[in-house]
Amino acid sequence: MTVYEHRQTVTAAAGAVSAIGLNIPGGLIRQVLIRANTDTTVFRANLTDASALRRRDYGFHTGEINDTNLSLAIAGSLAINITNASPNDTFAVLVAVQE
């Protein structure tokens, strides 16, 4: 089993930012980790594919989303959108994909 991890640091402005224009040739997303720099930052996030179809929505979270209960098949590009961030913050983003 081969697992690839993509990491990126992004900063939200006006409460929103898109992260990772990751192009996945085909695989299963096994983990999505989004961690705000500040533990008290409240935000929402979603995963969107190349056709702008929302593949996964995360409601409001404080500080961190660490979704390890994924087995989401995907091929093509993937974007992670962080929205409603209050206050604006810097986020560490990790996506782990099993080939």
Question: What pLDDT is stored for residue 1 in this prediction?
Answer: 80
CA distance 15 to 22: 22
Question: What pLDDT is stored for residue 24 in this prediction?
Answer: 81
Exposed e or buried b per residue across 7-46, where buried means at least 16 C-beta atoms within 10 angstroms of its C-beta: eeebebeebebebbebebeebebbbbbbbbeeeebbbbbe
Smallest CA-to-CA distance from 31 within 74, 62, 2, 69 is with: 69
Question: What pLDDT is stored for residue 70 in this prediction?
Answer: 93
Smallest CA-to-CA distance from 94 within 31, 43, 1, 38 is with: 31
- Which portions of the chain are predicted below pLDDT 50? none
What pTM, to 2 d.p., does this model score?
0.92
